[in-house]
Amino acid sequence: MRKQSAVFAAVLLCAFSALPPARAADAPKGEGATAKPSPDLIRLYEEIHSHPELSLHEEQTAARMASELRRLGFDVTTGVGGTGVVGVLLNGPGPTVMLRTELDALPVLEQTGLPYASRVKVKGPSGEEIPVMHACGHDVHMTCWVGTAEQLVQSRGRWSGTLLWVAQPAEERANGAKAMLEDGLFRRFPRPDYAVALHDTPKLASGTVGVTPGFALSSADSVDVTIFGRGGHGAEPQSTVDPIVIAARTVLALQTIVSRENNPLDPAIVTVGSIHGGTKHNIIPDEVKLQLTVRSYRKEVRDHILSAIQRIARGEAEAAGAPKEPTVKVVESCPATYNDPKLSSRIEDALRHELGAANVSEPPPEMVSEDFSEYGLAGVPAVQFLLGAAVPSELAEAKKEGRSLPSLHSPFFKPDRDATIETGIRAETAVVRDLLAKPKP
C-alpha cells in the first residue's frame, strides 16, 4: 500500500493539474454568506472525489491543496507530519485561527452510481487490489476549506489576525494529527488561539449544522488479544487445552466490564469485532486471536476498561490451565474529542447569526472517534462541528419509515453536494470571521 502504481500517480497528477484553480463563488449575499458554489469549486470537489488516496499516500491530494493555498497568497509548507500541508496568511494584529481539513480516503468500493464516482484501485502489500473511496466526506471538507479561504482572502478588510490552514493526513488511521504535532505544527508555525473543523453527517439535513459542547466523540482503542492453548485432535480434547473454549468464555466475560464494572452514567463500549482460530473441524488449534474496539469519553473509564481486558483475559487463561498468558496489545488509539464549551457557545452564536437559529442544533454525543481531539489535548481551545449532508426530503422520509440513510464509510454514501458545500463554506467563513472580528470603534 505504500507504493501506488506509477501509472495511477501520473494519471492523478495530470487530472489535478488540468483542473483550473478553484474560484470563489459570486459576491457574498449577506454578513458572511456565499452564493452557490462556483462551477470551479464543484469541479474541484468532483476531481478530489474521483481520485481518492489512502492514509499516508495523499501525495497528489496534498499537492492540490498546497497549490490552492499558494494561489490565494498563503505561505505554504508541505510534508508536515508526512503529507500534511500548512498554510499561513497574515492580515494584521489579532488572534490565530486554525482550520483543519483531512486529506485521506477509505478502502471502500464505491457503489453510489455517480458520474464522478471513484474507480481508483491500488496495490496492497500482497499485490491484491484495494478499492478507494471518499466515503467519509473528506472531499467535502477540502472543498469547503478552499472555498472558505477564498472568501476570507476576498474580505480581508472585515477581519484581522492570522489564518492557519491545516490539511491533515491519515485521519482514518487516527495518527495524522499526532504526526503533525510531533513534527512541530504548533512550534514551527503560529500557535493557534482557536482550532476549528467541521465534519459532514447524513444524520442532519443539508443547510443545517450542529454543535455539541463538551464531549462530542468518544475515544477509540483497537486491542489485539491472542489466547494460547495446546492443540491436538478434536476427538481427544482431554490431551489439549482448547483456546477456542477459553476465547468463548473470554468474550462473554468481557461484556461484564461495561454491564457490571462501569458506572452506567459513563458511556462505554467493548466490542469484539473479530475472532479467528483453527483450520479444520477436527483440529483444536494452538491459539485464537481476538480484535476489540473500546470506546469511552473519560480517561478514567478508558484506563479501567483496558486494565480489565487484561485481567479477564489472563484470568480465563489461568482458570483453563493455558500453557502461557495471553498477550493483550493496544495497536491504535484515539482520544475523545472534547469541544471547548466557551468556544462552542461562541461558534454556535455565529452559526445562528449566519444560518438562522432553526438551522443550528445541538446533537447528542456519538461513540465514533476523530483524531482532531489531539489539537485540543495540545492545549488549544478546539471545536469540531457537524455539517448536514443529507437531502432534506430523503432524511425526512427515512425518519418517517424508521430507517437510516447510508452512513459515513458506506459504499453508498453521497452528500447533497451543492447545498452541503455551500453551507460548509458559509459556516466556516462565519465562524472564522467572528473569531477574527475587528474591534468595533
**Active site residues per annotation:** 104, 171
Q: What letter does residue 359 receive in the DSSP assignment? A: G
| Cβ–Cβ under 8 Å, residues 427 and 385 | yes
Query: Using CA atoms, how far apart are residues 36 and 39, in angstroms rounded to an integer?
Result: 9
Query: Using CA atoms, how far apart are residues 42 and 39, in angstroms rounded to an integer?
Result: 5
Pairing of β 382-390 and β 209-210: antiparallel
Q: What is the pLDDT, as a whole number, of residue 221?
A: 97
- Averaged over successive runs of 10 residues, the pLDDT of the chain (441 residues) comes to 38 43 41 71 98 97 98 98 98 98 98 98 92 98 98 96 98 96 98 98 98 98 98 98 98 98 97 98 98 97 98 98 98 96 98 98 97 98 98 98 98 98 98 92 67
Q: What is the pLDDT, as a whole number, of residue 124?
A: 85
Query: Using CA atoms, how far apart are residues 90 and 132, in angstroms rounded to an integer?
Result: 36
Cα-atom radius of gyration of the chain, to the nearest Å? 24
Q: What is the pLDDT, as a whole number, of residue 441?
A: 67
Indicate if the alpha-carbon torsion angle 34, 38, 42, 43 is positive or negative: negative
CA 290 to chain centre: 25
Query: Using CA atoms, how far apart are residues 329 and 221, in angstroms rounded to an integer?
Result: 10
Match 484506563 to its residue by C-alpha cell: 303
Identify the CATH assignment for 219-334 out of 2.30.30.230, 3.40.50.720, 3.30.70.360, 3.40.50.300. Answer: 3.30.70.360
What length is written for the chain? 441
CA distances (Å), 99 to each of 21, 102, 174, 213, 266, in order?
20, 10, 18, 18, 31
Half-sphere exposure at residue 207, Cβ-oriented, CA atoms within 13 angstroms: 10
Query: Using CA atoms, how far apart are residues 252 and 174, in angstroms rounded to an integer?
Result: 28
C-alpha cell at 138: 473528506
| Cβ–Cβ under 8 Å, residues 243 and 228 | yes
13: helix, strand or coil:
helix
Q: What is the pLDDT, as a whole number, of residue 325?
A: 97
Q: What is the pLDDT, as a whole number, of residue 360?
A: 98
Q: What is the pLDDT, as a whole number, of residue 34?
A: 53
Neighbours of 421 (CB within 10 A): 29
Query: Using CA atoms, how far apart are residues 345 and 193, in angstroms rounded to an integer?
Result: 16
C-alpha cell at 38: 462556483
* Ramachandran angles phi, psi of 187, nearest 5°: -110, -40
| Cβ–Cβ under 8 Å, residues 381 and 195 | yes
Residue 414 carries which side chain, given as an amino acid letter? K
Q: What is the pLDDT, as a whole number, of residue 440?
A: 73
Q: What is the pLDDT, as a whole number, of residue 102?
A: 98
Helices (H), 72-175: 138-154
Domain ranges (residues) in the chain:
6-217+336-435, 219-334
- On whether the 6-217+336-435 domain is CATH 3.40.630.10, my answer is yes
Neighbours of 172 (CB within 10 A): 22
Query: Using CA atoms, how far apart are residues 417 and 48, in angstroms rounded to an integer?
Result: 13
Residues facing residue 272 across a β-bridge: 292
C-alpha cell at 245: 473454549
Element (H, E) at 141: helix 138-154
Residues facing residue 277 across a β-bridge: 288
263: helix, strand or coil:
coil
Pairing of β 287-296 and β 268-277: antiparallel
Helices (H), 260-416: 299-319, 341-355, 373-377, 392-401
Burial class (CB in 10 A: 0-12, 13-18, 19+), 209: buried
